[in-house]
């Protein structure tokens, strides 16, 4: 994956061997919390849909890299400091190193962390996701390869102005995924997408509605 600032990307992955990645209702919300922690420092989330065996994210990249301030001490060292000394002033005296973390690294950390939790929950081991998470740039026409979006009339490939129209096509495609899969009859009935946040009474914490309007998605 390669990301550039100020561009829209469709990020997606599925379960290894097309297996399930969400086993309980709580798993979906746990993944969204992971997304908030690891993706929002890099990008605005404009749309998402979590399906039983795969996920979709539509994001606007703001920071390809972020700075992480790390105390130059191991966890065991920190644990050895008496509780009454664990104050902000005391920690400020501990040497700090600044580390850069790319968006690609943050996505990998998010998926590894989620995998560990699910493996523990399901008493399983090994990979949960396919090895390579995919990303499609939606706002650079030379990089757009929309053949993965299928309709009853075939692949959507002939879009007159792809840099303006393809983001909207992808936005709608993500929200209609549960209908296409036969899980619900209306996208508003699926609890684990951003559709309700835009068109119903769903949670809007994760999505940036103003940014979506900026790109003509609403």
- CATH classification number, 8-64+102-214, choose in 3.20.20.60, 3.30.70.1290, 3.10.450.50, 2.60.40.1480: 3.30.70.1290
Can you tell me the distance from the alpha carbon of 45 to that of 55, in angstroms, rounded to the nearest whole number? 13
Neighbours of 178 (CB within 10 A): 24
Which strand (E) or helix (H) includes residue 69? strand 65-71
Whether 21 and 52 have beta carbons less than 8 Å apart is answered as yes
**Closest CA relative to residue 54, chosen from 19, 26, 25, 30:** 19
pTM score of the predicted model: 0.80
Whether 103 and 63 have beta carbons less than 8 Å apart is answered as yes
Whether 133 and 104 have beta carbons less than 8 Å apart is answered as no
pLDDT tens track for 64-115: 999 886 544 444 444 555 555 555 555 555 556 678 899 999 999 999 999 9
Residue 153: per-residue pLDDT: 43
Using the predicted structure, report yes or no on whether residue 56 has a pLDDT greater than 50: yes
Q: Of 59-73, 105-119, 143-157, which range is least confident?
A: 143-157
The domain limits of the chain are 8-64+102-214, 67-98
Using the predicted structure, report yes or no on whether residue 125 has a pLDDT greater than 90: yes
Residue 162: per-residue pLDDT: 53
Residue-averaged pLDDT of the chain:
84
Can you tell me the distance from the alpha carbon of 173 to that of 164, in angstroms, rounded to the nearest whole number? 15
pLDDT tens track for 180-218: 999 999 999 999 999 999 998 888 899 999 999 999 999
Can you tell me the distance from the alpha carbon of 178 to that of 49, in angstroms, rounded to the nearest whole number? 8
């Amino acid at each position: 994956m390669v990301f550039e600032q100020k561009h829209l990307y469709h990020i997606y992955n599925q379960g290894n061997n097309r297996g399930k990645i969400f086993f309980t209702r709580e798993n979906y919300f746990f993944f969204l919390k992971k997304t908030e922690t690891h993706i929002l420092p890099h990008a605005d989330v404009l749309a998402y849909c979590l399906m039983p065996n795969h996920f979709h994210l539509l994001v606007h990249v703001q920071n390809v890299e972020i700075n992480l301030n790390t105390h130059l001490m191991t966890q065991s060292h920190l644990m050895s400091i008496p509780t009454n000394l664990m104050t902000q002033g005391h920690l400020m005296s501990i040497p700090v190193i600044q580390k850069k973390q790319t968006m690609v690294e943050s996505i990998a950390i998010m998926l590894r962390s989620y995998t560990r939790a699910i493996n523990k929950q399901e008493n399983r081991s090994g990979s949960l996701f396919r090895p390579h998470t995919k990303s499609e740039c939606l706002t650079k026409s030379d990089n757009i390869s929309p053949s993965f979006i299928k309709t009853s009339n075939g692949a959507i490939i002939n879009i007159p102005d792809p840099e303006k129209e393809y983001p909207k096509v992808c936005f709608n495609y993500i929200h209609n995924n549960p209908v296409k899969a036969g899980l619900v009859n209306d996208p508003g009935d699926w609890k684990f997408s951003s559709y309700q946040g835009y068109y119903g009474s769903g949670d809007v914490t994760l999505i940036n509605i103003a940014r979506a309007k900026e790109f003509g998605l609403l």
